[in-house]
Amino acid sequence: MQHKNIKRIVDTYLDNEMPADIRGRFFGWLRSSANRDDKERALESYWERLDAAETLDRASKLERLHRDIRRRSLRRFVRFAAAAAILIAAIVGIDFIAIDNYLRRNVRTEIVTTACDKGECTLPDGSKIWLNSGSVLRYYGDFADGKRIVELEGEGFFKVSRDPSRPFILKTDDMDIEVLGTEFDVINYKDFGTTEAILCSGSIRASGGRLPTPVVMRPGDRLVYDKKSGRTTLQQVDASNYSQWFNDTIAFDNMPMTDILINLERRYAIEIDAPEQWANSLRMTFKIKHNEDIDDVLHAMSLVVGIRYTREGRRITVIPDAGAARTPHGRNGRNRS
């Protein structure tokens, strides 16, 4: 047997989750005397590659990862190589149909966006999802067995294909959201103080996770779970403020500053604090193009309305110039419409 084929088998097995019966047969094949030298070299090559990767400078590894991902804005990682599956089936003696069926149900797919990019993808059932920056969408198999279950870290806007026989379930740490066919936005960044769901059309049911009771939502509802207090609030909002962030251009035409700040939060995956009375008293007209940085946008706004701002991680605090209207408690990411 050629060494490169054995190497592909070893790499594929070690880089992917396999069921118990395949693991047993793989190790049986690995222990057999046939092609022992090639097997040992393949294992040595695998371990050496891991060691070499661990010694790379962390910053350079992250820089390279971000550079690679930016080339496509959105990357799709499928943790299995079909050619290697055929090799394992042929060499280890496992029925390939059984492996193929297992993979169709269980192989994990992850869709990732960097801190600088957004992306769009279509799931196996035809549902479309827009991911905000720094997000991960995860699902298993191809939904062929009737289950449509996805997991989200970060923010995503979902247009779910209607299929009453296969409910669509979105899982987060704080809540599960079940839908049949609808459009909604979910915000689930680990370093945000809240997990949110905003319904644009259709109907969804949020339950499980850390929610005390299930909540059925109607269009325009915004469900907020406060991670610190454990409290849940439901309020009516303008859902369009939460469904424009992935467009190439966003235009504000005499829009209240409160709504503008919501759009900026979603556009740049940040949280903005600003005095509520000040934000409610102003309106602005301007346009944001897809490649404009948040600092450039805030600087341009400051030339018109007179503001300063501070930034700490994902949180921005807007400070109006002296004399601007303000209240003791600022507008924040948990209590706004």
Which tens digit of pLDDT belongs to each residue from 5-41?
566 666 665 665 555 656 666 666 666 666 666 766 7
Count other Cβ atoms within 10 Å, centred on residue 273. Answer: 18
pLDDT confidence tier of residue 106, bands split at 50, 70 and 90: low
Q: What is the mean pLDDT of residues 51-77?
A: 43
- Rounded to whole angstroms, the maximal C-alpha distance in the chain is 84
Highest mean predicted confidence (pLDDT) among 14-23, 58-67, 84-93: 14-23
Structural domain boundaries in the chain: 1-106, 118-245, 247-331
pLDDT of residue 87 exceeding 50: no
Highest mean predicted confidence (pLDDT) among 38-42, 59-63, 325-329: 38-42
Of 49-58, 231-240, 242-251, 265-274, the one with minimum mean pLDDT is: 49-58
Q: What is the mean pLDDT of residues 215-239?
A: 95
Tell me what pLDDT residue 14 has: 63
Q: Is 254 helix (H, G, I), strand (E, B) or coil?
A: strand
C-alpha to C-alpha distance for 162 and 168, rounded to whole angstroms: 9
pLDDT of residue 239 exceeding 90: yes
- Are 272 and 316 within 8 A, CB to CB? yes
Task: Tell which residue, 235, 182, 232, has the closest CA to residue 210.
Answer: 232
C-alpha to C-alpha distance for 304 and 301, rounded to whole angstroms: 5
pLDDT of residue 309 exceeding 60: yes
- Selected from 2.40.50.100, 3.55.50.30, 3.40.1190.20, 3.40.630.30, the CATH number assigned to the domain covering 247-331 reads 3.55.50.30
Q: What is the mean pLDDT of residues 250-278?
A: 94
- Selected from 3.20.20.140, 3.90.1170.50, 3.40.30.10, 2.60.120.1440, the CATH number assigned to the domain covering 118-245 reads 2.60.120.1440
C-alpha to C-alpha distance for 170 and 176, rounded to whole angstroms: 6
pLDDT digits (tens, 9 = 90+) for 135-165: 989 888 788 777 799 999 999 999 998 888 8
- Are 274 and 330 within 8 A, CB to CB? yes
Tell me what pLDDT residue 254 has: 93
The pTM score is 0.65
Tell me what pLDDT residue 325 has: 47
pLDDT digits (tens, 9 = 90+) for 174-219: 999 999 779 999 999 998 999 999 999 999 999 998 898 999 999 9
